[in-house]
Structure 1
């Protein structure tokens, strides 16, 4: 009984503290992430520059939706169809593909660490539910575009735009936004400047989809 009471108290404290953490970050930029800490421990510098969503060219979130999560405005944080499809493709071998939504990736990037298997996935699901309920879609996209790794030691759309294109993220072309979005799944192995092979093809495909996202209203929840 004593152990059970301890576990119940521990669970209550976790719920309360995690909710408070999410509420605070609804209004303040996340100061640091575990991924950034990992870069520092590996000897890399960390470059980041917070930009409000209103100060980022709208083609950047559109490219992110096109490349990462076309149903971002329609789901409640989880795209079970995409997750099932990714599981089936991965079971067949070849390139490993994820089915995580932008909301799930934001929860992982802000509150958790890379790797960790099913335990980390469980916590990721919990924080995804919280940010969907407390933050809403615009805040989720804003935070994602500021904490997502866009290159080794580079975090966010602003730092990526300056690193790759020598100008701010407030005036990205669809092609530039597409290239940054193409880097997101494997930021330590991909470059947005003079990309080759898959990254170039994928970036160009995303750039072509930016207009579709705008025309079909797939970004309606963040306008």
Structure 2
């Protein structure tokens, strides 16, 4: 009598049955996938905002909720006095035209001196405010480091500066250079004088504690230094990339 035929084992199914569910590995896999999707979406926004004005930022949104509204009027770079563009760069990032998003000399100098701001460039500040959030977490800093070169590659320097001057806070609830010019001097961003532009630029590091219309002796000295710096970068070519 012939022996009974044996069914071949389904080794793949057997291995699958033996495979155990590993929750940590599963969570890590999905974290990587979701992180990749988020990065693609953010890069899509980087491309979009090269031409479309960002509707708001996390800071503007949170301040609007806290205060019940904010003052903000978007203006194109062509409608901002050239001296204001130069003053902002002289005050915040004198090497704006010569770096690719990170000013290594400024970063090293900030570390050596123990400065709190860390030598952030205008490009880094735009990335932080438009795409991320405030704070000093390593996650935010890593995302900022990843996105800044992308913004530098896709946006023009003039566009970066235009966005910066339209989202920067100049007083509590006052965002953008147009609202600031009206708030402090009763004029438009296009008609700012050298003195007015320098005073506005001087409040940028600490807008809630400084008043451009009523400057302290310290703020007056800083504004004069900014005006001098703006003239210097105009003369030596470091303003060429945005003018």
Question: TM-score per shorter chain, which class?
Answer: over 0.9
Pick from 72, 77, 102 the counterpart of residue 53 of structure 1. 77
1:219–1:51 CA distance, 2 compared to 1 (3 A): same
Shift of 1:73: 0.3
Identify which of 104, 120, 128 aligns with 1:108. Answer: 128
> Scaled by the length of structure 1, what TM-score is found?
0.93
Checking the alignment, whether the CA contact within 8 Å between 2:127 and 2:147 is kept in structure 1 is yes
Structure 2: tracts of 5 or more residues without a match: 1-24
What does residue 27 of structure 1 align with? 51
Q: Secondary structure at the match of 1:221?
A: coil
Shift of 1:24: 1.3
Aligned residues: 219
Give 1:190's match in structure 2, choosing from 200, 206, 210.
Answer: 210
Q: Determine the structure 1 residue equivalent to 2:139.
A: 119
Q: Tell me if the contact between 1:22 and 1:131 (Cα under 8 Å) persists in the aligned partners.
A: yes
Q: Deviations over 1:82-111 (max 9, x none)?
A: 011111111xxxx74430000001111111
Aligned residue number for residue 2 of structure 1: 26
In our comparison, the structure showing a higher alpha carbon Rg is 2
- Deviating 4+ runs (over 6 angstroms): none
Query: What is the CA-CA distance between 1:38 and the residue it aligns to?
Result: 2.1
Measure the CA separation in 2 of the matches of 1:97 and 1:32: 23
TM-score (norm 2): 0.85
Shift of 1:125: 1.6
Secondary structure in structure 2 of the residue aligned to 1:42: helix
**Counterparts of 2:29 and 2:117, CA distance in 1:** 41
Distance 1:185 1:97 in 2: 9
Tell whether the 8 Å contact from 1:89 to 1:97 is kept in structure 2 after alignment: no
